[in-house]
Each structure stands twice: as structure tokens, then as C-alpha cells.
Amino acid sequence: MSADPSARRGIPDATVARLPEYLRALTGLAERGITSVSSEELASAAGVRSAKLRKDLSHLGSYGVRGVGYEVDHLAYQISRELGLTQDWPVAIIGMGNLGHALAAYSGFATRGFRVVALLDQDAGLLGQEIAGITVQPMTVLDELVAEQGLAIGVIATPAASAQEVCDALVAAGVRSILNFAPCVLVVPDDVDVRKVDLSTELQILAFHEQRKALAAEGALGAVALEPVKPELNRVVGR
């Protein structure tokens, strides 16, 4: 049992998911030359309530000053450290189709603690081609990437039909964190984390709410609105 006050492990998943947004908000403030910020201001910049922000930050330690607020640089550093962004994580993108091309060209990786170390594809016609300054390689280099570059994160941008196969290859090579853009469920061992980004799902959730709004408007024409309007600030469909 360590007595270190910051050694509190077990940050809730919901909090971890919001830390990147706080970090982004802090970066924006720092760029505007702001050095100190209250929980109210930062929460507003990040699109959450101040109580939630404070509780989230309390899980990392006590970095605020009562009556004043948080020092922007220091808090940004603490969040970066907690997220493991004080080092650069090597990332490989697999599947250089439409989406893979866009991802490879995306500058948002480098600015946020990630480094694209490889672009992989199965298509012989793509191999050797250069995309965004990186040569496309075959899947066989995976073991080497893990051993020599410390590859830790794989991004799957292949069609759904190939995704599980690619996933298995990543896991076999030792990659334990996977970001999946293919619309399918991946089966992985317990120690591997998978996160999914799914455009269709997001659109379908929007469609559900859109339909509800359309029906509500229709209903309101002939009768009193079935549901009272909920006054709510800055409504965003919760996840």
C-alpha cells in the first residue's frame, strides 16, 4: 500500500473518456495565452457541467487552488501524464483504401501524442507506394514493427470482411490496443482493448432522434404536445 497521494488507481471509464476533451480545451486556452482557469470556465469550454469536471479531476489528484482555479499548463501536463501522452505511441494503419488514405494524411495524430510508423495493406498494387511520405508495406512486417518500433496500437481500416483476420494478425504480433473502423464486432483475448468508430451507428442514432422530433412536431399539430419541453442547456445526445 503506497502512501503516495496521487497513487489513486482506478479512474472511472467515464472520466477517462472525458480527459481528452479537457486536455483539448486546456490546449486551446494555453494558445490564447490564458494561464489560469476556474472549473466553471473550463467546464464550459469542454461542454460539461463544472461539478462533473471537478469530480473527474479529483480522481487524478488535487491540482486546483481554492478561490483561484487551475493553472492551465500544470493541469494539461497532469492530464497528459495520466493518459500516457508524455511519450509518443507508435501506431500502424492497416488498409489503405479511401479511409486509410485520409487517416494517413491526417495531421491530428502527431499533435496529440501519436506517431504513424507504418501503413500496411494486402493489395500488391499498393505495396511500395508512398502515402503521406510513408511507404506501404505488407502485413508480414508486423512482428518486426512490434519488436523494433515498439508498435502498440493498430488502426483497422479494411472492409468488415477482413477485419477479424487483420485483428488476429495484430494480436498475434503482440499489439494489445486496436481502433476499429470496420463495422463489425471483433473477438479478442481479455488483455486486448478494442475501440470502435462507427459512422453508420452514429447516423442511425441521429436518425432515431430525428424521427422522434418529426413525430413530436406532427403530433403537436393536432393536440397538445405529448411531452413537456425539457429546458436543458446545450443539449447533446448523451452516450
Ligand X SMILES: NC(=O)c1ccc[n+]([C@@H]2O[C@H](COP(=O)([O-])OP(=O)(O)OC[C@H]3O[C@@H](n4cnc5c(N)ncnc54)[C@H](O)[C@@H]3O)[C@@H](O)[C@H]2O)c1
Residues engaged in binding ligand X (CB under 6 A): 94-100, 102-103, 105-106, 108, 121-123, 126, 139, 157-160, 162, 165-166, 181-183, 199
49 binds, among a second copy, ligand X, DNA, none (CB under 5 to 8 A by kind): DNA
Interface characters, 77-106, with a second copy (x: CB under 8 A): -----xxxx---x-x------xx-xxx-xx
Question: By rule CB under 8 A, what count of residues binds a second copy?
Answer: 80
Which residue is at the shortest CB distance from ligand X? Answer: 97
Q: Single out the residue of 77, 87, 82, 75 nearest to residue 113, CA to CA.
A: 87
Strand arrangement of the beta sheet that strand 69-71 belongs to: 36-37, 69-71, 64-65
Is residue 164 within 8 Å of residue 187, measured between CB atoms?
yes
Is residue 94 within 8 Å of residue 156, measured between CB atoms?
yes
165 binds, among a second copy, ligand X, DNA, none (CB under 5 to 8 A by kind): ligand X
Nearer to ligand X (CB atom), residue 174 or residue 183: 183
CA dihedral 173, 175, 179, 183 (to 10 degrees): 40
32 binds, among a second copy, ligand X, DNA, none (CB under 5 to 8 A by kind): none
95 binds, among ligand X, DNA, a second copy, none (CB under 5 to 8 A by kind): ligand X
Q: How far is the CB of 200 from ligand X (least distance, A)?
A: 7
Nearer to ligand X (CB atom), residue 37 or residue 104: 104
